[in-house]
């Protein structure tokens, strides 16, 4: 086992290769395309015994993916942003088929306005679909998570599809040292897919994904998927232990960083959480007892682990790299629901929105957030939600606006004047 | 509050009937809620409408579980449990059926003493929702004929004049016929939050995906669905005239409900035949005829 | 057509393989064609279905199929067929599936999908050379929602969204398919079971994308008595409104040449959806346009 420099996209492709995926329905979209290009090349050279088929849309891609999984092969597919949304009807639909496969989503902000750089609003749109969701912070985690996602999704107690999420640019196009598990290690960790009775065969009649009439029947099937997703929490712990035993790398449902003795905490998801780690180090040097909680699993939601990790903290800042219009940060809402009414819940749960469309989170902002937390803890007053956005940024935006609005404002061109 | 259900089949004007009755109440000064409930929207499939009418705003919604009146357009539905005609009639409530069978016989058959009324459809009238509207309006005793007529005109606006007049005639006849029973249907109460029957809530167990996915691990289970109950007319083969040219009737039957014996004799599967009568129309020697289901005796 | 197993009507299968008890309307012309197809195709098949009337063939826990069925969503049946076919091929190639366990992959959709929402998926599946049979039951409207006009609705037809008669023209799906140079494409109708059987026989002898486009007389949507389904279908053929034809090896052949070709009126009069062409006053201009469309078509048939 040797370490090598890989982009997040390459790590995702390696995950599919080490999982010995049979079938890869594909459709290109930035910043995911490198994944399918890499896999396509391996299929061509025979390094991977898989078939890659480019469909005409992500909707068709997801349909083909789930249909193949429902026929009993191991399926890998990948998309991003608008592609995920285009597939959204099938994201919800196929989760109910109980046909497991892995979808890598390379996060990218959603239109409008359209952009290429990341935030998590895309993958959060799939939050309630029935897909499990694992969020990565490093390229190493990407390959590890793809393998773990297959074990989790295919487990007989779960049988739900899974999304492995990595951030566009900050992981997808960024190289980091990655240790790839040896193929025999991957094989030992992940046995071949066993579809049991849910696969099409000439000798066994089987109608799948059948329509139901009536709310009672419907409620049963929907809730069973929910129960299976919840059961995935305990199954995940077993899998994480197995993976750690084989590779020495342990990835728990949540990652904590200097949190145990902390009075304050950042809560984040995705690759920017490593920036929070760096900030925690500097803040600790400055005497601030702060730590980090990063969610790796979003679905199933690790509520108990979150409660344990944040019990007794004086104030917590949830930094959401997403935006639910008219509500704010999605994670903030999820955290509040998990903590409300719990003994030892932090009295202050502050909400910050940052990193939309790839907007950077400089370390000074983490330091300032820590200051806001300390002030809130002193006063007992939860601060209002804040968008991480500076005077300087607004001035720069005004320059762009001035150009965009030039004719409207120029009296010589019939405008109203400034 | 009045709580009334109207039962029939797709194609018998149940939706319109529900609206006619709703409007008749409304035009009489009542607060009203009416709706139609269909499963798969299919001609011949059971369908029902419900109407609530009260003196003030109505907060109840959805299925009427405790009806004051159930009016049935298609008597063949009474014996079909899945049609739900008798649902909630155990304790109180009146059952009205368009039927030539005497009410006394229905009362005995259904064990609903004094709570079944019937009306034989007038000559020339099909089993149609409008008849039930006229009957229901009279049975409540709170809708006068002018409101009934206005409601029907309103709901049939845009239909040819002849259709409107025909429906008005049917509704008036039913209204007149039921005059001796005016006011038989009385408003029901609203139950109580004291001493109610508690729901037997259960914690769903997590079950294996093979069981808990909406998948059917079997063949031909649709045979358990008795679509023969949709039928109002029954095709009957006169085997003396039958040519055994099964490739006509059996091939054309959309449902595959005409099976073929080894000697080529076609047999109609009455448990599933929906009564489309394509076989009657296509049989070369005219060996298949249609008889009313009510006159049929099961083989 | 030579060497067919279906020389006479007597040669058609006498066993009904598709189960009874489905919730489709009495007299459904689509179901009529489907059972004729299933009687020949049999249960070693997987039907990949898209939203439409026939989604209700299998309503939990009831299925009329002996073999397999997968409901997808509205747009994606050909993509679902792709996934199933590819998975079966992979399993066969890797020795994980005995050849005896293989299945014929069938996409089953109505005209709303075939002519509209699913056309992109269809075009791409044909382009990829997917080995599948695509069965369309074309009842010329969104039947499952109460017959609104679709891209398959013919000129003049009254639907729930064209109360004065549809002003557009029925899209030529057969031509769209043949422009892709598929392995096979044919129009069929349940009223002509022998023609249907021969075409299915030919389709099943070929590999690649294959279409059976069935006109599906619809008592509910077209407003006629259910007993007339076969008669309406027969008139569609005899008036030339529904040409029976097939495409194979780059060539289109008509399998029925209506002689004499009856006036389209004979067909239109059977259906309530065209009643406004005749009463209260005859719409001579529109009747002439509809007749001219049919005449133009047949003028091009040599």
**Please, what CATH class does the domain formed by B2-181 belong to?**
alpha beta
Q: What is the spatial distance between Cα C113 and Cα C121, in angstroms, rounded to a whole number?
A: 10
The domain locations on chain A are 3-247, 254-387
Which residues lie below 8 Å from residue A105, measured CB to CB, with a gap of 6+? A32, A78, A79, A80, A84, A122, A123, A126, A163, A164, A165, A166
Say if residue B124's pLDDT is above 90.
Answer: no
Contact C70, C49 (CB under 8 A): yes
pLDDT in tens, C124-173: 999 999 999 999 999 999 999 989 999 999 999 999 999 999 999 999 99
Q: Residue A354: helix, strand or coil by DSSP?
A: coil
Quick check: is C93 in a domain?
Answer: yes
**Chosen from B226, B250, B256, B267 to mutate, greatest number of chain C CBs within 10 A:** B256
Q: Which residues contact B147 (CB under 8 A, 6 or more apart)?
A: B24, B27, B28, B137
Q: Is the pLDDT of residue C30 over 70?
A: yes
Among B219, B247, B251, select the one facing C43 at the smallest CB separation. Answer: B219
Q: What are phi and psi of B34, to 5 degrees?
A: -135, 150
What is the fold of A3-247? Rossmann fold (3.40.50)
Q: Does C42 fall in a domain? A: yes
What is the pLDDT averaged over residues B115-119?
96
Tens digit of pLDDT for each residue in B1-22?
Answer: 999 999 998 889 999 999 999 9
B139/B183 Cα distance (integer angstroms): 5
Helical (H) or strand (E) element with B148: helix B145-155
Closest in B209, B210, B214 to A212, CB measured? B214
Contacts of residue C259, defined as CB under 8 A and 6 or more positions apart, other chains included, come to: none
A93 touches chain B (CB under 8 A): no
Domain that holds residue C48: 9-299
What does the pLDDT read at residue B76?
A: 85
pLDDT band for A416, please (50, 70, 90 cuts).
Answer: low
pLDDT confidence tier of residue C1, bands split at 50, 70 and 90: very low
CA-based torsion, A404, A406, A408, A409: positive or negative: positive
In the DSSP assignment, the letter for residue A324 is B
Domain boundary assignment for chain B: 2-181, 226-295
- pLDDT at B299 > cutoff 60: no
> How high is the pLDDT of residue B295?
82
pLDDT value at A1 more than 60: no
What are chain A's partners, defined as 3 or more CB pairs within 8 angstroms?
B, C
**CB proximity under 8 Å: B 256-295 to C:** 256-260, 264, 269, 271-272, 274-278, 280-282
Alpha carbon C182 to its chain centroid, in Å, reads 16
Q: CB count, 10 Å around CB of C167?
A: 11
Residue C302 has pLDDT above 80, yes or no: no
- Tell me the CATH number for domain B226-295: 3.30.70.20
**In this model, does residue A311 exceed pLDDT 90?**
yes
Asked if residue C3 belongs to a domain, the reply is no
Of A206, A221, A230, the CB nearest to B212: A221
Alpha helices in B5-144 (DSSP H): 14-27, 103-110, 129-140
Stretch A87-102: mean pLDDT: 97
Residue A196, phi-psi category: left (phi > 0), alpha (psi -120 to 50), beta (remainder): left
pLDDT confidence of residue B294: 75
Residue B262 per-residue DSSP state: T
User: Measured between CA atoms, how close is B279 to chain A, in angstroms?
Assistant: 31
- The mean per-residue pLDDT over the stretch B136-162 comes to 96
For residue A418, pLDDT beyond 60:
no
B213 and chain A in contact, CB less than 8 A:
yes
Candidate from A206, A211, A231 with C-beta closest to B206: A231
Q: Does B224 touch chain A (CB under 8 A)?
A: no
Considering the domain boundaries, does residue C40 fall inside one? yes
Mutate to test the interface with A, among B215, B219, B222, B225 (most CBs of A within 10 A): B215
Written as six digits, the tokens of B89 are 């009639």
Q: By the CB < 8 Å criterion, does B93 face chain C?
A: no
Q: What is the mean pLDDT of residues C237-263?
A: 97
Residue B79's pLDDT is 85
Indicate whether A415 pLDDT > 80.
no
Please give the residue that has the higher pLDDT: either C70 or B293: C70
Between the two ends of chain A, the Cα-to-Cα distance in Å is: 65
Q: What is the dihedral of CA B132, B137, B140, B142, to 10 degrees?
A: 180
Residue A293: strand pairing partners: A256, A267
- C253 within domain boundaries: yes
Asked if B253 and C22 touch (Cβ cutoff 8 Å), the reply is: no
Average pLDDT, chain C: 97
- Counting as contact any 3 or more CB pairs under 8 A, the partners of C are A, B
**What is the distance between the alpha carbons of residues C90 and C107, in angstroms, rounded to a whole number?**
19
pLDDT of residue A398: 96
Parallel, antiparallel or unpaired: strands B258-260 and B266-268: antiparallel
The reply to whether A220 touches chain C by the CB within 8 Å rule is no
pLDDT of A366 strictly over 50: yes
Written as one string, the DSSP assignment of A52-100 is EEE-SSHHHHHHHHHHHHTTT--BEEEE-HHHHHHTHHHHHHHHTTT--
Please tell me which of the candidates A63, A71, A75 has its beta carbon nearest to residue C88. Answer: A71
Residue C2 covered by a domain: no
Tokens representing A5 are 């420099």
Q: What is the mean pLDDT of residues B210-219?
A: 96
CB contact under 8 A, A211 and C59: yes
Contact call for B204 and A231, based on CB within 8 A: no
Q: Is there a contact between A213 and B213 if contact means CB atoms under 8 Å apart? A: no
Q: Which of B44, B218, B250 sits opposite C14 (nearest CB)?
A: B250
* pLDDT of C215 over the 80 cut: yes
Mutate to test the interface with A, among C42, C86, C100 (most CBs of A within 10 A): C86
Tokens 């009069």 -> residue: C269
A314 vs A376: CA distance, rounded Å: 9
ipTM: 0.96
Task: Kindly identify which residue of chain C lies nearest to residue B229, measuring between CA atoms.
Answer: C21
Q: Kindly state whether B152 is in contact with chain C, defined as any CB-CB distance less than 8 angstroms.
A: no
pTM: 0.93
What does residue C163 show for φ and ψ, rounded to 5 degrees? -65, -25
Can the peptide bond before residue A113 be classed as cis, meaning omega within 30 degrees of 0? yes
**Per 3-state DSSP, what percentage of chain A is helix, strand, and coil (rounded to 5)?**
45, 20, 40
pLDDT at res. A226: 98
Chain C hits for A211, Cβ within 8 Å: 55-56, 58-60, 71
Please tell me which residue of chain B has the smallest CA distance to C31. Answer: B254
pLDDT digits (tens, 9 = 90+) for A320-362: 999 999 999 999 999 999 999 999 999 999 999 999 999 999 9
With an 8 Å Cβ cutoff, is C24 touching chain A?
no
Phi-psi sector, B191: left (phi>0), alpha (psi -120 to 50), beta: left
pLDDT per position as a tens digit, B41-63: 567 778 999 999 999 999 999 98
Shortest CB distance from A209 goes to which of C70, C97, C103? C70
Distance CA B136, CA B155 (A): 16
What is the SS3 assignment for A368?
Answer: helix
Strand positions, DSSP E, chain C: 45-49, 68-71, 104-110, 132-138, 184-189, 209-215, 245-248, 251-254
Mean pLDDT of A229-256: 98
Position C34 in a domain: yes
pLDDT of residue B46: 84
CA distance A53 to chain C (A): 9
Return the structure tokens found at A177: 């040292």
In whole angstroms, what separates CA A114 from the centre of its chain? Answer: 20
Query: What confidence category does residue C240 fall into, taking pLDDT thresholds of 50, 70 and 90?
Result: very high
Q: Which residues of B touch A196 (CB under 8 A)?
A: 209-210
Q: Is pLDDT above 90 for B83?
A: no
How many percent of chain C have pLDDT more than 90?
98
CA distances, A271 to each of A115, A168, A170, C24 (Å): 19, 10, 7, 53
Give the CATH fold of the A254-387 domain.
Answer: Rossmann fold (3.40.50)
- On whether the CB atoms of residues C186 and C247 are closer than 8 A, the answer is yes
Cα distance between residue A19 and residue A4, in whole Å: 19
DSSP state of B244: -
Mean pLDDT calculated for residue range B24-40: 90
Q: Does residue B138 have a cis bond before it (omega within 30 degrees)? A: no
Q: Is the bond preceding residue C118 a cis peptide, omega within 30 degrees?
A: no
Q: Which two tokens stand for residue A417?
A: 């004047």
Q: Is there a domain that residue C264 lies in? A: yes
Look-up: residue for tokens 């992981």?
Answer: A171
When pLDDT is averaged across residues C206-211 and rounded to a whole number, the result is: 98
Give bridge partners of residue C133 from the DSSP assignment. Answer: C106, C210
What mean pLDDT value characterizes chain B? 93
């Amino acid at each position: 086992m040797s370490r090598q420099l890989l982009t997040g996209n390459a790590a995702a492709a390696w995950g599919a290769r080490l999982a010995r995926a049979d079938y890869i329905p594909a459709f290109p979209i930035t910043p995911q395309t490198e994944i399918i290009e890499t896999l396509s090349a391996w299929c061509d050279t025979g390094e991977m015994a898989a078939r890659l088929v480019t469909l005409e849309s992500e909707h068709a891609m997801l349909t083909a993916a789930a249909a193949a999984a429902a026929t009993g092969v191991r399926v890998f597919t990948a998309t991003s942003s608008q592609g995920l949304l285009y597939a959204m009807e099938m994201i919800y639909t196929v989760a109910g088929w109980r046909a497991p496969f892995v979808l890598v989503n390379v996060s990218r902000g959603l239109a409008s306005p359209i952009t290429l750089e990341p935030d998590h609003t895309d993958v959060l749109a799939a939050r309630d679909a029935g897909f499990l969701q694992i969020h990565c912070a490093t390229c190493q985690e990407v390959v590890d998570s793809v393998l773990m996602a297959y074990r989790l999704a295919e487990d007989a107690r779960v049988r739900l599809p899974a999304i492995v999420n990595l951030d566009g640019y900050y992981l997808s196009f960024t190289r980091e040292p990655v240790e790839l598990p040896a193929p025999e290690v991957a094989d030992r960790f992940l046995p071949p897919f066993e579809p049991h009775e849910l696969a099409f065969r000439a000798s066994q009649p089987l109608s799948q994904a059948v329509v139901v009439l009536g709310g009672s029947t419907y409620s049963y099937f929907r809730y069973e998927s929910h129960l299976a997703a919840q059961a995935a929490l305990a199954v995940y712990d077993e899998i994480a232990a197995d993976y750690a035993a084989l590779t020495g790398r342990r990835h728990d449902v949540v990652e904590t960083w200097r949190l145990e003795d902390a009075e304050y905490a950042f809560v984040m998801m995705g690759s920017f959480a490593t920036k929070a780690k760096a900030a925690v180090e500097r803040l600790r040097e400055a005497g601030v007892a702060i730590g980090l909680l990063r969610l790796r699993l979003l679905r199933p939601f690790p509520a108990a682990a979150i409660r344990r990790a944040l019990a007794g903290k004086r104030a917590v800042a949830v930094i959401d790299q997403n935006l639910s219009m008219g509500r704010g940060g999605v994670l903030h809402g999820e955290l509040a629901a998990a903590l409300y009414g719990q003994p030892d819940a932090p009295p202050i749960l502050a909400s910050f929105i940052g990193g939309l469309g790839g907007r950077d989170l400089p370390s000074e902002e983490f330091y300032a957030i820590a200051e806001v937390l300390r002030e809130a803890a002193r006063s007992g007053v939860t601060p209002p939600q804040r968008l991480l956005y500076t005077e300087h940024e607004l001035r720069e935006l005004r320059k762009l606006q001035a150009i965009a609005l030039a004719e409207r404002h120029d009296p010589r061109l019939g405008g109203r004047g400034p | 509050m009045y709580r009334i259900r109207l039962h029939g089949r797709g194609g018998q004007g149940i939706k319109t009937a529900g609206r006619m009755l709703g409007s008749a109440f409304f035009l009489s000064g009542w607060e009203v809620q009416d709706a139609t409930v269909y499963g798969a929207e299919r001609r011949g499939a059971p369908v029902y409408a419900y109407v609530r009418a009260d003196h003030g705003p109505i907060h109840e919604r959805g299925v009427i579980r405790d009806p004051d009146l159930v009016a049935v357009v298609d008597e063949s539905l009474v014996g079909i449990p899945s049609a739900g005609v008798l649902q909630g009639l155990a304790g109180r409530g009146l059952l009205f059926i368009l039927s030539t069978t005497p009410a006394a016989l229905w009362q005995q058959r259904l064990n609903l003493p004094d709570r079944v009324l019937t009306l034989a459809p007038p000559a020339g009238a099909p089993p149609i929702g409008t008849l039930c509207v006229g009957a229901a309006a009279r049975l409540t005793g709170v809708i006068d004929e002018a409101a009934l007529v206005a409601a029907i005109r309103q709901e049939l606006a845009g239909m040819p004049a002849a259709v409107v007049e025909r429906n008005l005639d049917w509704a008036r006849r039913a209204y007149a016929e039921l005059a001796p029973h005016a006011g038989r249907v009385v408003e029901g109460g609203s139950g109580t939050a004291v001493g109610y029957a508690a729901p037997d809530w259960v914690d769903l167990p997590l079950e294996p995906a093979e069981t808990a996915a909406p998948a059917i691990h079997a063949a031909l289970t649709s045979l358990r669905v008795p679509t023969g109950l949709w039928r109002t007319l029954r095709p009957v083969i006169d085997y003396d005239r039958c040519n055994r040219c099964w490739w006509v009737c059996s091939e054309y039957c959309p449902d595959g409900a005409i099976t073929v014996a080894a000697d080529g004799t076609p047999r109609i599967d009455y448990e599933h035949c929906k009564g489309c009568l394509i076989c009657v129309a296509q049989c070369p020697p005219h060996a298949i005829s249609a008889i009313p289901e009510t006159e049929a005796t099961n083989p | 057509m030579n060497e067919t197993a279906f020389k006479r009507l007597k040669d058609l299968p006498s066993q009904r393989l598709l189960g009874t008890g489905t919730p489709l309307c009495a007299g459904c012309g689509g179901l009529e064609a489907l059972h004729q197809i299933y009687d020949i195709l049999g249960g070693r098949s997987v039907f990949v279905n898209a939203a439409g009337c026939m989604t209700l063939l299998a309503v939990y826990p009831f299925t009329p199929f002996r073999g397999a069925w997968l409901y997808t969503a509205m747009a994606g049946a050909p993509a679902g067929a792709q996934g199933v076919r590819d998975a079966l091929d992979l399993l066969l190639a890797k020795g994980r599936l005995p050849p005896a366990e293989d299945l014929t992959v069938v996409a089953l959709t109505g005209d709303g999908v075939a002519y509209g929402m699913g056309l992109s998926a269809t075009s791409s599946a044909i382009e990829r050379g997917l080995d599948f049979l695509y069965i369309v039951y074309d009842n010329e409207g969104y039947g499952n929602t109460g017959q609104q006009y679709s891209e398959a609705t013919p000129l003049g037809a009254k639907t729930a969204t064209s109360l004065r008669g549809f002003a557009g023209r029925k899209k030529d799906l057969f031509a769209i398919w043949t422009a892709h140079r598929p392995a096979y494409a044919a129009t069929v109708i349940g009223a002509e079971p022998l023609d249907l059987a021969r075409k299915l026989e030919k389709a099943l002898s070929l590999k690649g994308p294959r279409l059976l486009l069935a006109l599906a007389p619809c008592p509910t949507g077209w407003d006629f008595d259910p007993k007339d389904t076969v008669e309406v279908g027969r008139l569609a053929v005899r008036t030339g409104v529904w040409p029976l034809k097939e495409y194979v090896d780059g060539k289109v052949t008509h399998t029925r040449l209506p002689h004499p070709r009856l006036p389209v009126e004979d067909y239109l009069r059977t259906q309530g959806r065209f009643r406004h062409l005749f009463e209260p006053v005859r719409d001579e201009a529109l009747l002439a346009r509809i007749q001219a469309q049919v005449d133009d078509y047949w003028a091009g048939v040599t």
